[in-house]
Amino acid sequence: MDFSIIFLVQIIVTSLFCCLAAIFDVKTGIISNRLNLSLLIFGLISNLFLSVLSANIKYILCSIISMFVTYIITFLFWKLKIWGGGDVKLLTAIATVIPFGINLNFLNIYPQLSVYPFSFTVIINSILIAFPFLLIFTGYLILKNTMFNSNKDILFSFLNINSISLFLKLNLNKLILIKDLKEGMIINDYYFNNEKIAVLISDINGNLKVYKTKNNPDFNYYFKSQSAGGITAQDMYLLKIMNAQKIISNSISVKIGFPFAPAIFAGFLISVIYGDLMLLFIKKFFLVM
């Protein structure tokens, strides 16, 4: 039985959800949990439908295996602060809908398929696509700095590894009012001495974590976001309550996030049409050699 139409529907629905995720990520910095969950449920239902029609358990089985494997791998990347929790859920949902590469023969689409799950191809393509844009984004932040615009000679004196590292650290952060905090924002180090703050943060068990300072005579503690997932709704409300009670100051430093969902969307489309970019590059390189 030919399931090309069902595969096409899966691709179209996934493309639509990825597009919506990219829009939300750019506009708000957050990918809706409801959106990711809806796509994941669609993936399980559509692959269960395929298994029933074909009397073959492989579709739903591969869907479930791909879902768990992708979640574990992307969760590890989240722990390494490479991307946010919304990106983990989106990639997991994609893996559930399309567990392995598809050839759409009737559309004359023959992508370069890989031996690993389709979601890994999406991840690889997304990273390859995002890298140059991340460089441009970082370069823009550096070039717009008023100090360098006013004195070009200073710019060249800063072109060494240590200075660039320090400068990126300073320019990829911004100071905002506590009242303007939103769920998903990544909090930088906030130093304090009040032990009550440490107790309150530890009690909610969110994304904020308290650390003891080292070699800092002025402060005993500091807190910050544990991962690129940013603060939870509970973290956000706690910070606003502590600010209202004058326990913490009116402003806080947050990281300027790079929205990764657009790269996932582009990576997904390229994976469907062209396949695994890394394998294509390797294949082309060896053919040239």
- What CATH code is carried by the domain that includes residue 270? 1.20.120.1220
139 in a structural domain: no
Give the number of domains in the chain: 2
Has residue 62 been placed in a domain?
yes
Q: Which whole-number Å values give the CA distances from 197 to 189, 225, 232, in the listed order?
A: 14, 15, 17
**Radius of gyration from C-alpha coordinates of the chain:** 23
pLDDT at 228: 64
Residue 193 covered by a domain? yes
Looking at the structure, tell me whether residues 66 and 206 fall in a common domain: no
**Residues 75 and 191 both lie in one domain:** no
Question: How confident is the model at residue 78, as a pLDDT?
Answer: 78
Residues 123 and 193 both lie in one domain:
no
In this structure, the answer to whether residues 63 and 204 fall within a common structural domain is no
> Would you say residue 157 lies in a domain?
no
- Examine the domain organization and report whether 263 and 246 are in the same domain: no
- 87 and 61 assigned to the same domain: yes
**Stretches in the chain below the pLDDT threshold 70:** 1, 81, 106, 137-172, 227-229, 257, 287-289
Residues 228 and 279 in one domain: no
Please check whether residues 195 and 275 belong to one and the same domain. no
Q: Is residue 251 part of a domain?
A: yes
* Confidence at residue 269, expressed as pLDDT on a 0 to 100 scale: 94
- The confidence score (pLDDT) of residue 287 equals 66
Q: Which pLDDT belongs to residue 199?
A: 92
What is the four-CA torsion angle of 3, 5, 7, 13, rounded to 10 degrees? -150
> What pLDDT shows up at residue 223?
94
Q: Is residue 154 part of a domain?
A: no
In-domain check, residue 268 = yes
The reply to whether 229 and 278 lie within a common domain is: no
DSSP the chain: ---HHHHHHHHHHHHHHHHHHHHHHHHHS---HHHHHHHHHHHHHHHHHHHHHHT-THHHHHHHHHHHHHHHHHHHHHHTTSS-HHHHHHHHHHHHH--S---BGGGTB--B--SS-HHHHHHHHHHHHHHHHHHHHHHHHHHT-HHHHH-HHHHHHT-SHHHHHHHHHHHTEEEEEGGG--TTPPB--EEE--HHHHHHHHHHTSSEEEEE-SS-TT-SEEEEESSTT---HHHHHHHHHHHHTTSS-SEEEEE-----HHHHHHHHHHHHHTB-HHHHHHHHHHHH-
Same domain, 14 and 112: yes
Please tell me the predicted confidence (pLDDT) of residue 163: 46
Residues 241 and 282 in one domain: no
> Cα torsion for 235, 236, 237, 241, to the nearest 10°?
100
Instruction: Tell me: do 283 and 178 sit in the same domain.
Output: no
Q: What global pTM score does this model have?
A: 0.71
Residue 45 lies in a domain: yes
Q: Mean pLDDT score of the chain, rounded to an integer? A: 83
Q: What is the pLDDT of residues 11-45, one digit of tens each?
A: 999 999 999 999 988 887 778 889 999 999 999 99
Instruction: Identify the domain containing residue 278 by its residue range.
Output: 4-128+259-288
